[in-house]
Structure 1
Amino acid sequence: MSEHDSSREDLWTSVDALWSWLERDQPVNGREGLLLRMLKLSEEVGEVSEAVIGAIGQNPRKGVSHTWDDVQGELCDVVITALVALRTLTPDTREVFHRHLRGVTERSLGNGAV
C-alpha cells in the first residue's frame, strides 16, 4: 500500500471513528438528529468566515484576531464535518465520495484528468 493509500485509509478510519463517537453520545436522534448533523456544517462555515475576517482585520472592533493557520484549521473542520455528515447518510461514504469527486473532476478537467 502506498503512502497515499494509507493516508486515505487513515482518513476514512478517522471519519468512521468520529461518526461512531457522535452516534453514541447523540442527545437528539432520528430525523432531528440527522438534520442537526447537517446544520453543523453551517456553523463550521461561519467559523471559516470569522477566521478570514479576523485574519485580514476587517472588524475594526477586533482588529487582526486570527491567522491564516486558523483559517486552514477551520477549513479542515468543514471538510471533517461534511465527511461525518455524509457518513451519517450512508455507510458507503468512501465510494459515494470518490465517485462524486471523480465526476466533478471529469466535468471540470475533462475525461483524461483522472
Structure 2
Amino acid sequence: MNGNDDDRTAGLWEGVDALCHWLDAHQPVRGREGLLLRVLKLSEEVGEAAQAVIGATGQNPRKGVTHTWQDVEAELCDVALTALVALRTLTPEAPEVFARHLSGVTARSTPPEPAPDGRA
C-alpha cells in the first residue's frame, strides 16, 4: 500500500464514522433492536443490487432494460457502505477488525508465492 492507499482507507473510515454518527442522531429505534435493524438494512441493499442487475440485463420482459451497469455499481457501493456502517456500529475497532479479516481471507484465497528454488 502506498501513501495514497492509506489516505483513502483513512477517508473511508472517517466517512463511515460520520455516517454512523448521523444515523445514531436520527435513529428512531435504539439499543439491540437498532443494531439488528442496521444489520438487516443489508438485505434491503442487496435486494436493490439484485434489482439493478435484473434491470441492467433486461431480465424482466415486462419492464425491459430499466437500469445501467453504473446503477449496479452504485448499489454495490451501498451494500459495502451499509456493511461497514453495521460493522462500525457493532465495534469501534471496525477498521482493525476489517483489516484482520481481509488479511485472513486474502491469505487463504491466494496461492503462496513460489520459493526462490521454485518450490511452493
Q: Scaled by the length of structure 2, what TM-score is found? A: 0.90
For these two proteins, the number of residue pairs brought into alignment is: 112
Q: Which consecutive residues of structure 1, in runs of 5 or more, have no partner in the other structure?
A: none
Superposed, 1:93-104 pairs within 5 Å as: 93-104=94-105
Separation in 2, partners of 1:91, 1:7: 19
Separation in 1, partners of 2:48, 2:85: 18
Q: Which residue of 2 aligns with 1:90?
A: 91
Q: Which consecutive residues of structure 2, in runs of 5 or more, have no partner in the other structure?
A: 114-120
Bigger radius of gyration, 1 or 2?
2
Identical-pair percentage: 66
Segments ≥4 residues shifted beyond 6 Å: none
1:111, CA displacement in angstroms? 5.4
Q: Higher helix share goes to which structure?
A: 1
1:60, CA displacement in angstroms? 1.2
Q: Scaled by the length of structure 1, what TM-score is found? A: 0.94
- CA 1:18 to 1:111, structure 2 compared with 1: closer, same or farther past 3 Å? farther
Q: Which residue of 2 aligns with 1:50?
A: 51
